[in-house]
Each structure stands twice: as structure tokens, then as C-alpha cells.
């Protein structure tokens, strides 16, 4: 599995690149993990409802084709897109979701943060506060989109939405528990190692 570090990139061209990658891949194309960071953007999933955008400001809203509701991406958040051949792996959606959740939980444990998945709600939580979001799309035998882990960012835009459709959902990040907060490169190195082990 190839790790591709793309740095700080706008959301929309990255979304288009994901779709193009999957449209052009064949059975021999190596799976990839795209490690990125985005400027401020709200992304609205296929099940998204407009009433979950509570405050309209200058942050753009992009309609996309993953599952789920609305979420926020911004600087200081680690985003990993999972460009996986679903047919070749002969796996299940549940296995992939669990692999992402377990990788995030293991990464956070390295920082002494006790986190867990919630079978009733997507994502990873520290207590009742959400620290990571998941959203996937499977099309033509390929999996794309992925996960977003809050590392050291401005969390206030999350108050402009009902995160993932949950009113009053409180968000958190690694910086709330670790001082000084680790950089995105350090966290991404740990997370991608766990993902490579889990996504087998």
C-alpha cells in the first residue's frame, strides 16, 4: 500500500482526483493512502440535510458522494483518503470501517488518549466528545474517501453545523490532551503505520 503525502490542498480538486484515480485504476493498481490537510470547508454527504448547516458564513459547502451528513475540514486536521480496491481484497465494508476506527484508536493510545468507537454513531470518541470522523464511498469495486482526525485546529466551525447530523455534538482534538500538541507529520506517520497493518 502506497502512502502519498499531498500536503495542504483544496478540497474540490482532491475530490475530483479521487474519482479520477478510481475511474482509471485496474486490478493491478496499487492501493494508496492519501494524507492531506484542507483549507476550511464543509462537506455534505449523500444523506445530508440542509438544516444541519446552522450558520452560513464564508466557508464553502461542497456536495459530495460519500455517505453521511455534514462535517468540517480545516487546517490542523489530519485527513487520510483510503484508495482501496474493494473487489481484490474480498472484504466487507464493516471490516474496513473497523480497520479505520482501530487505527485511530491505536494512534491516540500512543499519546495516552483513551478513545473508542460507538456502534450507534460513526467515528471515534473520547468519552462523549468526537475526535475523528469517517465517511466512505464504494463505487465500481473501489473504496474512497476515508477519515479525518482532529489534531490541533480551530474547532469553532463545528459549532456552525450539527456534526455528522448530531445536534450539539461536542468535538475534541489531540491538542486538548497533549501539550505541546504533536505535528500532523508525526501523527500521520503513526496513523498510516496502523492503517497498513489493519487494512489487510
Is there a contact between 118 and 126 (Cβ–Cβ < 8 Å)?
Answer: no
pLDDT tens for each residue of 24-54: 998 899 999 999 999 999 988 777 777 777 7
| 70 annotated to bind ligand | yes
| 147 annotated to bind ligand | yes
Of the listed ranges 1-10, 11-20, 54-63, the least confidently predicted one is 54-63
Model pLDDT, residue 162: 76
Q: What are the start-end ranges of the H helices in 28-162?
A: 86-89, 93-109
Where do the domains of the chain lie, and which CATH numbers do they carry?
Answer: 2-199 (3.30.930.10)
Q: 4 preceded by cis ω (within 30°)? A: no
pLDDT tens for each residue of 6-16: 999 999 999 99
Distance CA 41, CA 45 (A): 13
pLDDT at 149 exceeding the cut of 80: yes
- Helix (H/G/I), strand (E/B), else coil: 56: coil
pTM attached to this predicted model: 0.93
Model pLDDT, residue 8: 97
| 183 annotated to bind ligand | no
Catalytic residue among 41, 117, 155, 164: 164
Q: Has 164 been annotated as catalytic?
A: yes
Distance CA 80, CA 20 (A): 17
What does pLDDT average to over the chain? 90
Instruction: Name the more confident of 53 and 152.
Output: 152
| 194 annotated to bind ligand | no
pLDDT tens for each residue of 70-112: 889 999 999 999 999 887 766 788 888 999 999 999 999 999 9
pLDDT-based confidence at residue 66 (cuts at 50, 70, 90) = confident
| 71 annotated to bind ligand | yes
SS3 content of the chain, % helix, strand, coil (to 5): 30, 30, 35
Distance CA 174, CA 157 (A): 17
Amino acid at each position: 500500500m502506497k502512502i502519498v503525502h499531498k500536503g495542504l490542498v483544496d478540497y474540490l480538486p482532491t475530490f475530483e482526483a479521487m474519482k479520477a484515480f478510481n475511474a482509471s485504476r485496474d486490478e493491478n493498481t496499487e492501493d494508496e493512502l492519501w494524507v492531506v490537510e484542507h483549507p476550511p470547508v464543509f462537506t455534505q454527504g449523500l444523506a445530508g440535510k440542509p438544516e444541519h448547516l446552522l450558520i452560513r458564513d464564508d466557508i464553502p459547502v461542497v456536495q459530495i458522494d460519500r455517505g453521511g451528513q455534514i462535517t468540517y475540514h480545516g487546517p490542523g486536521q489530519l485527513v487520510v483518503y483510503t484508495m482501496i480496491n474493494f473487489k481484490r481484497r474480498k472484504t466487507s465494508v464493516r471490516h474496513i470501517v473497523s480497520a479505520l476506527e482501530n487505527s485511530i484508536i491505536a494512534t491516540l493510545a500512543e499519546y495516552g488518549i483513551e478513545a473508542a468507537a460507538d456502534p450507534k454513531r460513526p467515528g471515534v470518541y473520547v468519552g462523549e466528545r468526537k475526535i475523528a470522523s469517517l465517511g466512505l464511498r464504494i463505487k465500481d469495486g473501489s473504496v474512497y474517501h476515508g477519515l479525518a482526525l482532529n489534531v490541533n485546529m480551530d474547532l469553532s466551525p463545528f459549532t456552525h453545523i450539527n456534526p455528522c447530523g448530531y445536534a450539539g455534538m461536542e468535538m475534541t482534538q489531540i491538542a486538548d490532551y497533549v501539550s505541546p500538541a504533536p505535528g500532523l507529520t508525526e501523527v500521520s506517520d503513526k496513523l498510516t503505520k496502523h492503517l497498513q497493518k489493519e487494512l489487510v
